[in-house]
């Protein structure tokens, strides 16, 4: 799958952009704060409907403007599609596929699959469980509409349950009404748990293979799902936790508290791994994500590499470059020579300066 063209209007610091991309490697280089990540972010939004950096659509519109546009032309086995995202200051964003507005975000998923890899992802192991859940969700929403639907419903119900908990906190006579939400929470939550379990099992097998290669057979990586509740005891846990939930006016059990464990040779990498090991595990996991999307969707995603090469040592840089040869990659960096010395094939090179993007070499 390829992004063939990208047009931006009043998107962050990019006033106007019309760009053709190459099917393999596209490099965007420039000093700090010039608009490189902004460009990748816009592609990510066209794929998933939201930014990986902010929840506020307003932040995406160029200061002083009322609206912004992201337009992408994508190709998938000779079929061309157009994605238009229209961001507005005062109302909800509009998204159209092939000029037809979509009603639900779920309709967007699957048109363009991307994997984003940025320096923050290298800290996936070290960060809190929330970041790991975000990783899971963003991945799964792209490959499974059922997952997206259940996740969306789950969080809607969770919000309603929490707001009812606040009311019960002040008026205990309302206590019985919680069970309406509990049933729905269990219903949607169970689906999420089941899908996550399967996904992590597959991810573990693939990343373990990759990790073995990076570490020359020294390390066996295992990724384990750590659900907050199991499908069979979700109902019981919710019931038992109700008093505590009323006290703290928040739901303490459910997949919104899930986590993932990373083990090397059966030892928890988060607690006992070196920083280098943790980063290598992140790299293996990200590369596995690409393979997993390929397996699930039958097509390779587009890889967005945001300033990540400079964070890796020479061996890992080489490994990464060697493992992304057959897909479209959009790379940002500050020093282009560093990236080029690892690449043998032709690539498009663009310079990014103060929101302007110009072709350097193609």
Ligand X SMILES: Nc1ncnc2c1ncn2[C@@H]1O[C@H](COP(=O)(O)OP(=O)(O)O)[C@@H](O)[C@H]1O
Site residues, ligand X (CB under 6 A): 12-13, 30, 32-38, 59, 61-63, 352
Q: How far is the CB of 118 from Mg ion (least distance, A)?
A: 8
| Residue 279 interacts with which of ligand X, Mg ion, none, CB < 5 to 8 Å by class | none
The gap between the terminal CA atoms of the chain, to the nearest Å, is: 20
Q: Does the protein bind Mg ion through residue 118 (CB under 5 A)?
A: no
What gap in Å lies between CA 246 and CA 319, rounded to an integer?
51
Please, which residue, 158 or 333, has the CB nearer to Mg ion?
333
| Residue 132 interacts with which of Mg ion, ligand X, none, CB < 5 to 8 Å by class | none
| Residue 191 interacts with which of Mg ion, ligand X, none, CB < 5 to 8 Å by class | none
What count of Cα atoms within 13 Å lies in the side-chain half-sphere of residue 287? 26
Please, which residue, 271 or 337, has the CB nearer to ligand X?
337
Q: How far is the CB of 20 from ligand X (least distance, A)?
A: 20
Q: How far is the CB of 316 from ligand X (least distance, A)?
A: 21
Please, which residue, 1 or 349, has the CB nearer to ligand X?
349
Please, which residue, 34 or 284, has the CB nearer to ligand X?
34
Q: Is 241 exposed, middle or buried (0-12, 13-18, 19+ CB in 10 A)?
A: middle
Strand partners, 304: 116, 330
Q: How many CB atoms lie within 10 A of CB 92?
A: 9
Please, which residue, 16 or 346, has the CB nearer to ligand X?
16
Q: How far is the CB of 10 from ligand X (least distance, A)?
A: 8
Please, which residue, 117 or 181, has the CB nearer to ligand X?
117
What gap in Å lies between CA 130 and CA 193, rounded to an integer?
16
Q: How far is the CB of 112 from ligand X (least distance, A)?
A: 20
Q: How far is the CB of 177 from ligand X (least distance, A)?
A: 43
Q: How far is the CB of 36 from ligand X (least distance, A)?
A: 3
| Residue 153 interacts with which of ligand X, Mg ion, none, CB < 5 to 8 Å by class | none
Task: Give me the 36-75 binding string for Mg ion, x by CB under 5 A, dash otherwise.
Answer: xx--------------------------------------
What gap in Å lies between CA 296 and CA 109, rounded to an integer?
13
Q: How far is the CB of 306 from ligand X (least distance, A)?
A: 7
What gap in Å lies between CA 183 and CA 239, rounded to an integer?
11
Task: Give me the 1-40 binding string for Mg ion, x by CB under 5 A, dash otherwise.
Answer: -----------------------------------xx---
Contact 301, 114 (CB under 8 A): yes
Report which of 350, 352, 357 is spatially closest to residue 7, judged by C-alpha positions: 357
| Residue 90 interacts with which of Mg ion, ligand X, none, CB < 5 to 8 Å by class | none
Please, which residue, 45 or 352, has the CB nearer to ligand X?
352
| Residue 71 interacts with which of Mg ion, ligand X, none, CB < 5 to 8 Å by class | none
Please, which residue, 34 or 150, has the CB nearer to ligand X?
34
Contact 27, 333 (CB under 8 A): yes
Looking at residue 62, the DSSP 8-state letter turns out to be: P
Report which of 128, 88, 114 is spatially closest to residue 3, judged by C-alpha positions: 114
Report which of 28, 5, 15, 22 is spatially closest to residue 358, judged by C-alpha positions: 28
Looking at residue 245, the DSSP 8-state letter turns out to be: H
119-123 long-range CB contacts below 8 Å, 24 or more apart? 119/306, 119/307, 119/308, 119/311, 121/282, 121/286, 121/308, 122/278, 122/279, 122/282, 122/283, 122/308, 122/311, 123/278, 123/282
- Interface residues toward Mg ion, by CB under 5 A: 36-37
């Amino acid at each position: 799958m390829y992004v063939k063209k990208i047009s931006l209007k009043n998107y962050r610091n990019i006033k106007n952009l019309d760009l053709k991309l190459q099917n393999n490697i596209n490099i965007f280089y420039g000093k700090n704060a010039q608009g490189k990540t902004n460009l990748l972010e816009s592609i990510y939004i066209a794929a998933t409907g939201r930014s990986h950096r902010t929840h506020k659509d307003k932040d995406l519109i160029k200061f002083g403007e009322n609206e912004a546009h992201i337009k992408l032309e994508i190709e998938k086995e000779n079929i061309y599609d157009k994605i238009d995202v229209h961001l507005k200051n005062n109302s909800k964003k509009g998204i159209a596929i092939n000029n037809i507005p979509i009603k639900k975000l779920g309709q967007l998923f699957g048109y363009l699959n991307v994997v984003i890899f940025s320096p923050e992802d290298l800290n996936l192991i070290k960060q809190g469980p929330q970041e790991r859940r975000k990783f899971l969700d963003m991945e799964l929403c792209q490959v499974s509409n059922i997952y997206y639907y259940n996740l969306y419903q789950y969080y809607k119900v969770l919000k309603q349950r929490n707001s009812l908990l606040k009311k019960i906190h002040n008026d205990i006579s309302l206590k019985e009404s919680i069970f309406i939400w509990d049933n729905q929470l269990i219903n949607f939550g169970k689906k999420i748990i089941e899908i996550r379990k399967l996904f992590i099992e597959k991810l573990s097998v693939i990343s373990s293979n990759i990790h073995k290669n990076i570490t020359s057979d020294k390390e066996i990586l295992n990724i384990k799902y750590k659900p907050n509740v199991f499908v069979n005891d979700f109902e019981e846990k919710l019931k038992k936790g109700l008093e505590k939930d009323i006290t703290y006016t928040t739901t303490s059990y459910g997949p919104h508290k899930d986590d993932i464990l990373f083990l090397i040779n059966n030892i928890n990498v988060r607690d006992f791994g070196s920083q280098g090991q943790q980063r290598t595990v992140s790299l293996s996991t990200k590369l596995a994500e690409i393979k997993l999307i390929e397996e699930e969707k039958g097509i390779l995603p587009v890889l967005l590499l945001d300033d990540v090469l400079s964070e890796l040592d020479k061996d890992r840089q080489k490994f990464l470059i060697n493992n992304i040869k057959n897909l479209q990659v959009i790379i940002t960096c500050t020093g282009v020579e560093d990236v080029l010395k690892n690449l043998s094939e032709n690539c498009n090179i663009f310079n990014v300066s103060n929101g302007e993007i110009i072709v350097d070499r193609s």
